């Protein structure tokens, strides 16, 4: 075997770091560039400043080994596609940067690549297209440049790239690929490209490279495991390469563990927060390797239990070549730092850690481990490390295990892990049969066939955002702010009337975010000032901290919906965020099972719906775009998850009169995978993303059997492109071929808040035109 690596892995590291910048510098730089307000040079300079700040910060915090190439102008999977030269011909532009952003965002003429969720997180990656004819022209320019850039600043770093197996498993077949083609069929060619990348990094003097393989923590077929074996045997057999560090995260390696262990990779990263494999078993399997032990969570905002982490690190150390203290995954999923959060309750802050505080925890644990004596008794296995059965967060169904609820060696069934404090017994019950409700609603609402509606939000204009900021800063009084919100509602309502939509919305101008807004009005939540986390591209969210019992002290949305209703004779749809999405997009307390927390939120939503109904709102949409996101990555935990998720939704929505129409909305092209669960939500109307994924959902056999109203999106709102009336008409034609017309609703893929009024007005006009044209043919 070749004599690599020569440098031992440093004692502490992290798998990745937020790249948006503590003041969202990247967001601002990107948006300025996209708007034509800055040059490519200025954008590059902004990126360089963020990277420099990151390396200096990690160094100042005492981290032994910083990563590089964790920065991205948009997304790390997109970066990998570009690095391999897997660029669809239709996206090639005048410059490399134009090509890159064409793939990510589309152009006036060409839609972008599909975007979907990164495993069970709220981060979205760009889905590469790989076909039988894709020519790989590897260009290691970006990781090499970052390596050099860090070195020029005095830092030796470890390039991070998405590993070949995960890259191919996350890719989709290019348009026109034969039916039986799978991107993984191209493994051999992709490995050629990775070999060249590794050689280039070795030539640059990189001691280690991190290949991210989170796809290995999901159920994998025998053929896929063979691909893992083949990939790492081949990459490992080269002499001209850095040390290979394969990072797994978001769960257990399971069957992939012995496979990876049998390859020549020198280091393996394991997620000890989400993973349930006992450290003894992990250590035995990885005996000859460096183990990068993810003991500090990259997915929550809570402090690490130091004693327990240290115990586990010590047990591992007895069994493997070397232990490196690390985060469970990249820190890109948590905000930069707690430092600016001066408004939070100090008692809460004392329990919390954001990225920088987590880096400090990693550094402190590494120092403790260095001086910690060997495990008592010295006998591996008799460490007395009691952590496995009694793990504090192990109540299946808390956020931590909710994401990877499979139990490899998990001895504790969820319900017993936490004798749950008394919660209200389930009050959700079924509504009347759909046919009965549908008749009552048809009579009450009197809608035309193919009713046209939107998903809720209208553009959030610069003035509106400025007014909200001024209100928050105390520069604008409440009365003046509310006047502003009312003016926006009126603008949205008038526009919808003018365009001829059938079911109107108030446009959500009062909401900074669909989860944060509710968090600010419910008990049990805290919100941060700068706790931004990248969602996709330049988009960030500020997940609230759900730390206590949830309650609704007063109605939240009712007066805005009522105001919209007072302006028009057409039906107005009230819009709420569902309980599953609220917990999915918050950082949730980990002392209660997640489902108990979701039920508390459901009760608050139920009370809000009752108040909307009492105020004369006959249609209420309860959004659950995150329903799919929380699904455990392994099949074993999925049934139990969907059961409580559906229960939470129905608990929220089942209290209404037959005449009241309940809608739900899901997006990010994941609805096709959980149609049975969506059906079980029992909503009268479901809108789903479809335009962006080119109608993929319409090919699902279950769609035809879907019993209730369905609105597959006919306008991709993630792109600034305005689809023409023919394009919308074609999409709607496809919907009508897949579904009986009486069940079809016409709507965009998602809310319109990221678009401009000019785009929205033009696009919705085309949507209405297409719907009317087809209505006449019915």
Tell me which residues touch Zn ion (CB under 5 A): 625, 667, 750
Q: What distance in Å separates the CA atoms of residue 698 and residue 707, rounded to the nearest whole number?
A: 14
Q: What distance in Å separates the CA atoms of residue 246 and residue 102, rounded to the nearest whole number?
A: 30
- 3-state secondary structure at position 228: helix
Select the span of 602-610, 670-678, 730-738, 750-758 touching ligand GLN (CB under 6 A): 750-758
Residue 267 contact partner, candidates Zn ion, ligand GLN, none, CB within 5 to 8 A by sort of partner? none
Q: Binding marks (x or -) toward ligand GLN, 552..581, rule CB under 6 A?
A: -----------------------x------
State which residue, 298 or 578, has the beta carbon closest to Zn ion. Answer: 578
If one asks whether residue 236 binds ligand GLN (CB under 6 A), the answer comes out as no
For residues 38 and 29, the answer to whether their CB atoms sit within 8 Å is yes
**Burial of 98 (C-beta count, 10 Å sphere; 0-12/13-18/19+):** middle
State which residue, 417 or 622, has the beta carbon closest to ligand GLN. Answer: 622
If one asks whether residue 729 binds ligand GLN (CB under 6 A), the answer comes out as no
The residue from 91, 336, 547, 718 that is catalytic is 718
**Nearest-5° angle of CA 385, CA 388, CA 394?**
140
Is 27 marked within a binding site?
yes
Is 678 marked within a binding site?
no
Span 665-724, contacts to ligand GLN by CB under 6 A: 665, 667
Q: Which residue is nearest to ligand GLN (CB)?
A: 751
Distances (CA, A) of 533 to 23, 248, 759: 11, 21, 27
Is 508 marked within a binding site?
yes
The residue from 314, 542, 753, 755 that contacts ligand GLN (CB under 6 A) is 753
Is 142 marked within a binding site?
no
Report the nearest approach of ligand GLN to the CB of residue 227 (Å): 34
Measuring CA to CA, which residue among 735, 762, 764, 737 is closest to residue 748?
764
State which residue, 190 or 645, has the beta carbon closest to Zn ion. Answer: 645
Report the nearest approach of Zn ion to the CB of residue 75 (Å): 19
**Burial of 3 (C-beta count, 10 Å sphere; 0-12/13-18/19+):** exposed
Span 628-667, contacts to ligand GLN by CB under 6 A: 665, 667
Span 440-469, contacts to ligand GLN by CB under 6 A: 455-457
Report the nearest approach of ligand GLN to the CB of residue 678 (Å): 14
Q: Where are the alpha helices (DSSP H) in 85-181?
A: 96-105, 141-152, 164-170
Is 667 marked within a binding site?
yes
Span 395-424, contacts to ligand GLN by CB under 6 A: none
554: left (phi over 0), alpha (psi -120 to 50) or beta: beta
Span 176-195, contacts to ligand GLN by CB under 6 A: none
For residues 366 and 55, the answer to whether their CB atoms sit within 8 Å is no
CA dihedral 119, 124, 125, 127 (to 10 degrees): 80
What are the two backbone dihedrals, phi and then psi, of residue 447, each rounded to the nearest 5 degrees?
A: -85, 150
Report the nearest approach of Zn ion to the CB of residue 753 (Å): 10
Is 665 marked within a binding site?
yes
State which residue, 12 or 457, has the beta carbon closest to ligand GLN. Answer: 457
Q: What distance in Å separates the CA atoms of residue 741 and residue 697, rounded to the nearest whole number?
A: 16
Is 122 marked within a binding site?
yes
Count residues binding ligand GLN (CB under 6 A): 13
Is 455 marked within a binding site?
yes
Report the nearest approach of ligand GLN to the CB of residue 539 (Å): 11
CA dihedral 518, 519, 520, 525 (to 10 degrees): 160
Residue 753 contact partner, candidates Zn ion, ligand GLN, none, CB within 5 to 8 A by sort of partner? ligand GLN
Tokens at 611, concatenated: 């108040």
Is 623 marked within a binding site?
yes
Q: What distance in Å separates the CA atoms of residue 307 and residue 760, rounded to the nearest whole number?
A: 54
Report the nearest approach of ligand GLN to the CB of residue 149 (Å): 36
Report the nearest approach of ligand GLN to the CB of residue 514 (Å): 5
- 76-84 vs 187-203: helix crossing angle, rounded to 10: 90
Q: Binding marks (x or -) toward ligand GLN, 494..513, rule CB under 6 A?
A: --------------x-----
Q: What distance in Å separates the CA atoms of residue 401 and residue 394, rounded to the nearest whole number?
A: 7
State which residue, 246 or 691, has the beta carbon closest to Zn ion. Answer: 691
State which residue, 67 or 713, has the beta carbon closest to Zn ion. Answer: 713
Place of tokens 């069994």: 319
Q: What distance in Å separates the CA atoms of residue 766 and residue 774, rounded to the nearest whole number?
A: 12
Tokens at 403, concatenated: 């994401």
Residue 51 contact partner, candidates ligand GLN, Zn ion, none, CB within 5 to 8 A by sort of partner? none
Neighbours of 331 (CB within 10 A): 27
Is 718 an annotated catalytic residue? Answer: yes
Residue 646 contact partner, candidates Zn ion, ligand GLN, none, CB within 5 to 8 A by sort of partner? none
State which residue, 542 or 665, has the beta carbon closest to ligand GLN. Answer: 665
**Which string of DSSP letters, residue by residue, matches 700-718?**
-HHHHH--SEEEE-SS-TT
Span 510-539, contacts to ligand GLN by CB under 6 A: 514
- H or E element, residue 281: helix 279-285
Report the nearest approach of ligand GLN to the CB of residue 654 (Å): 21
Report the nearest approach of ligand GLN to the CB of residue 88 (Å): 26
Is 120 marked within a binding site?
no
If one asks whether residue 113 binds ligand GLN (CB under 6 A), the answer comes out as no
Is 117 marked within a binding site?
no
Report the nearest approach of ligand GLN to the CB of residue 122 (Å): 10
Is 68 marked within a binding site?
no
Neighbours of 749 (CB within 10 A): 26
Q: DSSP secondary-structure letter at 535?
A: E
36: left (phi over 0), alpha (psi -120 to 50) or beta: left
Is 329 marked within a binding site?
no
Q: Binding marks (x or -) toward ligand GLN, 271..310, rule CB under 6 A?
A: ----------------------------------------
Residue 247 contact partner, candidates Zn ion, ligand GLN, none, CB within 5 to 8 A by sort of partner? none
Select the span of 191-199, 420-428, 526-534, 747-755 touching ligand GLN (CB under 6 A): 747-755
Strand partners, 302: 352
Rg from Cα positions in the chain: 26
Strand partners, 662: 620
Q: What distance in Å separates the CA atoms of residue 583 and residue 594, rounded to the nearest whole number?
A: 8
**Bond into 361 cis (ω within 30):** no
What are the two backbone dihedrals, phi and then psi, of residue 327, each rounded to the nearest 5 degrees?
A: -85, 160
Binding residues for 5-methyltetrahydropteroyltri-L-glutamate: 27, 122, 539-540, 585
Question: Looking at the annotation, which residues are catalytic?
Answer: 718
Binding residues: 27, 122, 455-457, 508, 539-540, 585, 623, 665, 667, 689, 750
* Residues within the interface to ligand GLN (CB under 6 A): 455-457, 508, 514, 575, 623, 625, 665, 667, 750-751, 753
Binding residues for L-homocysteine: 455-457, 623
């Amino acid at each position: 075997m070749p004599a690599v690596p020569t440098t031992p892995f440093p004692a502490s590291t992290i798998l990745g770091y937020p790249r948006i910048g503590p003041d969202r510098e990247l967001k601002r730089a990107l948006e300025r560039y996209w708007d034509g307000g800055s040059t490519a040079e200025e954008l590059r300079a902004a990126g360089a400043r963020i990277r420099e700040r990151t390396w200096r910060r990690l160094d100042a915090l005492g981290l032994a080994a910083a990563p590089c190439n964790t920065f991205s102008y948009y997304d790390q999977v997109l970066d990998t596609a570009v690095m391999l030269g897997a660029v669809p011909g239709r996206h090639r532009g005048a410059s490399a940067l134009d090509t890159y952003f064409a793939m990510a965002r589309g152009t006036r003429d060409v839609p972008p690549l599909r975007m979907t969720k990164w495993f069970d997180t709220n981060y979205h990656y760009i889905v590469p297209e790989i076909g039988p004819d894709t020519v790989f022209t590897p260009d290691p320019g970006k990781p090499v440049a970052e390596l050099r850039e860090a070195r020029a600043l005095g830092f030796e770093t470890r390039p991070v790239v998405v590993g070949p197996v995960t890259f191919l498993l996350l890719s989709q077949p290019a348009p026109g690929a034969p039916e039986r083609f799978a991107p993984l069929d191209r493994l051999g060619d992709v490995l050629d490209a990775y070999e060249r990348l590794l050689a280039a990094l070795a030539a640059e003097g990189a001691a280690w490279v991190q290949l991210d393989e989170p796809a290995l923590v999901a159920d994998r077929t025998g053929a896929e495991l063979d691909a893992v074996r083949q990939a790492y045997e081949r990459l490992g057999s080269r002499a001209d390469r850095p040390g290979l560090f394969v990072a797994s995260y978001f769960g257990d390696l399971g069957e992939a563990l012995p496979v990876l262990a049998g390859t020549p990779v020198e280091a393996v990263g394991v997620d000890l927060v989400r993973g349930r494999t006992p450290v003894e078993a992990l250590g035995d399997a990885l005996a000859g390797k460096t183990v990068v032990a993810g003991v500090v969570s990259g997915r929550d905002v809570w402090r690490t239990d130091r004693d327990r982490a240290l115990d586990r690190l010590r047990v591992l150390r007895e069994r493997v070549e070397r232990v490196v203290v690390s985060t469970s995954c990249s820190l890109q999923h948590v905000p930069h730092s707690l430092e600016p959060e001066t408004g939070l309750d100090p008692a809460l802050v004392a329990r919390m850690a954001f990225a920088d505080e987590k880096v400090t925890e990693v550094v402190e644990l590494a120092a403790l481990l260095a001086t910690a004596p060997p495990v008592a008794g010295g006998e591996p296995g008799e460490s007395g490390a009691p952590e496995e059965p009694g793990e504090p967060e192990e109540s299946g169904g808390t956020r931590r295990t909710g994401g990877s609820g499979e139990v490899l060696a998990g001895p504790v069934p969820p319900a017993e892990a936490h004798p749950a404090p008394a919660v209200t017994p389930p009050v959700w019950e079924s509504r009347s049969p759909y046919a009965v409700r549908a008749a009552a609603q048809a009579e009450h609402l009197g809608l035309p066939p193919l009713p046209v509606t939107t998903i809720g939000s209208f553009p959030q204009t610069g003035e509106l955002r400025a007014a909200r900021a001024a209100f928050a800063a105390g520069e604008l009084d409440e009365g003046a702010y509310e006047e502003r919100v009312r003016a926006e509602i009126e603008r949205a309502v008038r526009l919808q009337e003018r365009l001829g939509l059938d079911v109107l919305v108030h446009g959500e101008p009062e909401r900074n975010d669909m989860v944060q807004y509710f968090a600010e009005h419910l008990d049990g939540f805290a919100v941060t000032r700068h706790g931004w986390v990248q969602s996709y591209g330049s988009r960030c969210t500020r997940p609230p901290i759900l730390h206590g019992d949830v309650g609704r002290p007063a109605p939240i949305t009712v007066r805005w919906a009522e105001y919209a209703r007072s302006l028009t004779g057409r039906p107005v749809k009230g819009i709420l965020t569902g309980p599953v999405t609220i917990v999915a997009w918050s950082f949730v307390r980990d002392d209660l099972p997640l489902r108990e927390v979701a039920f508390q939120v459901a009760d608050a939503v139920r009370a809000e719906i009752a108040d909307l109904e009492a105020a004369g709102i006959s249609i209420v949409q309860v959004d659950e775009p995150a329903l799919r996101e929380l699904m455990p990555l392994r099949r074993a935990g999925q049934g139990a998850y969907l059961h409580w998720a559906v229960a939470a939704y129905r608990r929220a929505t089942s209290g209404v009169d037959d005449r009241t129409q309940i809608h739900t909305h899901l997006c990010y092209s994941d609805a096709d995978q959980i149609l049975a669960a969506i059906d079980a939500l029992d909503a009268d109307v479901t809108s789903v993303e479809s335009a962006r994924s080119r109608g993929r959902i319409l090919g699902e056999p279950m769609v035809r059997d879907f019993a209730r109203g369905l609105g597959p999106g006919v306008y991709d709102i993630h792109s600034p492109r305005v689809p023409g009336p023919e394009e919308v008409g074609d999409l709607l034609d496809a919907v009508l071929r897949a579904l009986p017309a009486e069940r079809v609703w016409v709507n965009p893929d998602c809310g319109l808040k990221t678009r401009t009024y000019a785009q929205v007005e033009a696009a919705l006009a085309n949507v209405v035109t297409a719907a009317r044209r087809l209505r006449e043919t019915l």
